[in-house]
A = this chain, B = another copy of it.
Amino acid sequence: MEPNTITSRGRDKNKSKQQFLDAVGTILRTKGYTALKVNNIAATAGLDKKLIYKYFGSTEQLIDEYIHSQDFWSNVTGDLVPKEVTDGGKDFLKRMLLEQFEFVSQNKALQKVLLWSISEERKSLKKLIDDQEANGEVLLKGISDPHFGDKASDHRAVLAILVAGLYYLNLFTEVNGSHFCGIDLKTEEGRSKIRQATSFLVEQTYSSIQEKKQ
């Protein structure tokens, strides 16, 4: 029998594979990566676990295939990159940081993946992180580095702290935490303060590091 590609049957390998991949996503979002067990995944997919071994080889490979299949940073990176940069990328970076802050807070899967990537050594996660880093590298090299000249790495260090800080604050808010340095991150008011501080820090960095360069 030839491999079924298009015909819609009740028994569809591709559909079943997708059900497993979806199940991985569902479990990851709701229970986190520690709940990604064969029995759990099979039950969530509503199919027999045997099929996981048949189609993916192992649970690990299924999970890796899930990771590779997702574009976790879609909204952040796929963002509008300005055609022309007149302010050294200040406005672009500001928007990027604020959008990332919002995007992460609304994207449970990305949150769990970020957490996962700092919790467990894993090739496919390292690749994910490295790829995202490479994406950022292109933007920085093309947009802000030229502006900061020999102070480029100083600006990058600042940016690293900002990106990392916004990541952590979002993760922190999800469990056990609400107030951080007295800011209530669960309220719109608190999050607004964080956004303002982000804008402020980008602004300051652009005016001051630029200053030093001249």
Q: What are the interface flags for A197-211 relative to B under an 8 Å C-beta threshold, 1 for contact and 0 otherwise?
A: 110110011001100
Contact in complex: A129, B176 (CB < 8 Å): yes
User: A117-B175, A156-B181, A164-B167 provided; 7 other pairs, C-beta below 8 A?
Assistant: A115-B119, A121-B175, A136-B181, A153-B182, A154-B200, A158-B197, A161-B161
Q: How far is the CA of A167 from the CA of B168 in the complex (A)?
A: 8
* A179 on interface, CB distance cutoff 8 Å: yes
* A42 on interface, CB distance cutoff 8 Å: no
Q: Tell me the A residues contacting B by CB distance below 8 Å.
A: 32, 34, 115, 117-122, 125-126, 129, 133, 136-137, 140, 153-154, 156-169, 171-172, 174-177, 179-183, 193-194, 196-198, 200-201, 204-205, 208-209
Contact in complex: A118, B193 (CB < 8 Å): no
Contact in complex: A183, B165 (CB < 8 Å): no
**Which 10 pairs of residues, A with B, have the shortest CB-CB distance?**
A165-B165, A157-B197, A164-B168, A161-B165, A160-B181, A157-B193, A168-B168, A164-B165, A204-B204, A126-B176
Chain B residues positioned under 8 Å from A174 (CB to CB): 118
Give chain B nearest CB distance to A43 CB in angstroms: 21
Give chain B nearest CB distance to A191 CB in angstroms: 10
Shortest Cβ distance from A163 into B: residue = B181
Q: How far is the CA of A183 from the CA of B153 in the complex (A)?
A: 7
Contact in complex: B118, A161 (CB < 8 Å): no
Chain B residues positioned under 8 Å from A169 (CB to CB): 160-161, 164
Q: How far is the CA of A158 from the CA of B159 in the complex (A)?
A: 13
From A161, A163, A179, A201, name the one whose CB has the most chain B CB atoms within 10 angstroms: A161
Shortest Cβ distance from A182 into B: residue = B156
Contact in complex: A176, B125 (CB < 8 Å): yes
Checking B161, B168, B208 against A194 with a beta-carbon cut-off of 8 angstroms, the contacting residue is B161
Chain B residues positioned under 8 Å from A32 (CB to CB): 119
